[in-house]
Amino acid sequence: MAQAQGKQTVIEWLNRGRARELTAILTYMAQHYELEDTDVGKLADAVKEVAIQEMKHAEDFAERILYLGGEPTSQPDAGIKKGMSIPEMLEADVALERQAVAMYNQAAQACEDAGDHTTAELFIRILAEEEGHVDLFGNIGDHLARHGEAYLATLIGGSADEGASAE
Ligand SMILES: [Fe+2]
Ligand SMILES: [Fe+2]
């Protein structure tokens, strides 16, 4: 009985993580399109790369949920903000990633407490990648704050946007 309850708790944490990942995917996809639209192609590519990593996380959580007999959620846990300036965007992204780090730390501990070391390890592995995302977005934001337009100029172009030149 206690074991079944523990499994339910683990599935809930996995679905919380999955909902967080879905929010991140939608956020970064939206930012990717906005950045491409304003020709900040190199930053757009970096954001797209992170979106793809979040998709893998969402899938990893879903696979584990299915393995445990649960049902993976398809609902993101927050709305998507659009139309932000680049510094605002980066600040929001760092906040989103920090929330994921805090959540997955808690989740890893909860799964450990429930005796599910495999799920705890999954959260720890993904957690490390989210810390990488905090650094990535944080570093770009820092460079931008320090060097402004000069740094922004280095983020322009570089995107493989075939077929997008018909403006
Ligand atoms: Fe993620
Ligand atoms: Fe992330």
Evaluate if residue 103 carries a pLDDT over 50.
yes
pLDDT for 160: 55
Average pLDDT, whole number, for the chain? 93
Query: Would residue 139 count as lying in a domain?
Result: yes
Q: What percent of the chain has pLDDT over 70?
A: 93
Which ligand has its closest atom nearest to the C-alpha of 97?
Answer: 2
How many A from CA of 3 to the centre of ligand 2?
31
pLDDT for 22: 98
Evaluate if residue 165 carries a pLDDT over 70.
no
Evaluate if residue 164 carries a pLDDT over 60.
no
pLDDT for 157: 85
At 10-31, the pLDDT tens digits run 999 999 999 999 999 999 999 9
Which ligand has its closest atom nearest to the C-alpha of 123?
Answer: 1
Q: Which residues have CB under 8 Å from 112's CB, separation 6+? A: 120
Chain-centroid distance of CA 70 in Å reads: 22
pLDDT for 3: 83
How many A from CA of 72 to the centre of ligand 2?
19
The CATH number for 101's domain is 1.20.1260.10
Average pLDDT, stretch 118-135?
A: 98
Query: Would residue 79 count as lying in a domain?
Result: no
Query: Would residue 97 count as lying in a domain?
Result: yes
Query: Would residue 77 count as lying in a domain?
Result: no
How many A from CA of 1 to the centre of ligand 2?
35
Three-class SS of the chain: CHHHHHHHHHHHHHHHHHHHHHHHHHHHHHHHHHHHHCCCHHHHHHHHHHHHHHHHHHHHHHHHHHHCCCCCCCCCCCCCCCCCCHHHHHHHHHHHHHHHHHHHHHHHHHHHHCCCHHHHHHHHHHHHHHHHHHHHHHHHHHHHHHHHHHHHHHCCCCCCCCCCCCC
Distance CA 167, CA 165 (A): 6
Query: Would residue 78 count as lying in a domain?
Result: no
Query: Would residue 161 count as lying in a domain?
Result: no
Query: Would residue 164 count as lying in a domain?
Result: no
The candidate with the shortest Cα–Cα distance to 140, out of 101, 102, 98, 86, is: 86
- Name the residue type at position 130: E
88-106 b/e (C-beta count within 10 Å ≥ 16 → b)? ebbbebbebbbbbbebbee
Query: Would residue 14 count as lying in a domain?
Result: yes
- Tally the domains of the chain: 1
Q: Give the structural domain span for 13.
A: 2-72+84-154
Q: Which residues surround ligand 1, an ion (CB under 5 A)?
A: 21, 54, 57
